[in-house]
Structure 1
Amino acid sequence: MIVKHVSDIVGTKNEVDTPTWDSRRLIVRSDGIGFSLNHTVIKPGTETQIWYKNHVEAVYCMDGEGEIEVIGGETYPIRPGTLYVLNGHEKHLLRAKSAMTMLCVFDPPLSGTEVHDADGVYPIAQD
């Protein structure tokens, strides 16, 4: 059994804070579960270009408002209770009108320290 609290992650290598988001990686590859789980806060007034070409991500919004724009496609509003899944490896822009608290699941699992590269991509974990 694994029991963690988000406060256990704050200030460790598994908290990744960038100019547009702060992600606490609660379950990571080394936990051996087969997926990873993040508690992420998207910072208000930000836009992040993302492309998970190596991962499938499911995102559930718990708080805040914003939108996701599929590059070359539709734009969808995000508010508490919204779920979106990037099962087609869609390139997208994530915009936060207010701070958005998100629960994010990744397959394959993250190692816990990833940040987006210039194309918005996470590498596949090697640890």
Structure 2
Amino acid sequence: MALKKSNAHGARIGDDGRFAYEGLDRVIHERARLGVLTALITNRKGLTWNELKGMCSLTDGNLSRHLGILEQDGLVLQEKGERGNRPQTVVKVTAEGRKRYVGYLKTLEQVVKDAAAEATGRKLNFAR
């Protein structure tokens, strides 16, 4: 077993990419989209446009823009219909969206574990 050397800053040489966190999905990582997906994940039947807008504190324009990005990536779908002779849009997370969200959370958990280990002085577990 080869010993790893440390540089002048204490970083271990040979751990290149250790903190790259490739699983931090750029589409999900944006604050508003993370909020939208979290709201939808916790409401399996979906949410109406107005419910989602209120829960995430977004304007119509912001919500429209972020839902467009999430829908284009296949993470959510918008079902247009009517309720009481009024148009109503219900937004739901897709199976692909749920899968990517869970993967994102696993990577985020690793980020937190790594940071907590350093902050408390515990040795980092480099096995993923």
Normalized against structure 2, the TM-score is what? Answer: 0.21
Give 1 or 2: higher helix fraction.
2
Compare relative contact order (CA 8 Å, sep 6+) and give the higher one, 1 or 2. Answer: 1
Normalized against structure 1, the TM-score is what? Answer: 0.21
Q: In terms of Rg, which structure is larger?
A: 2
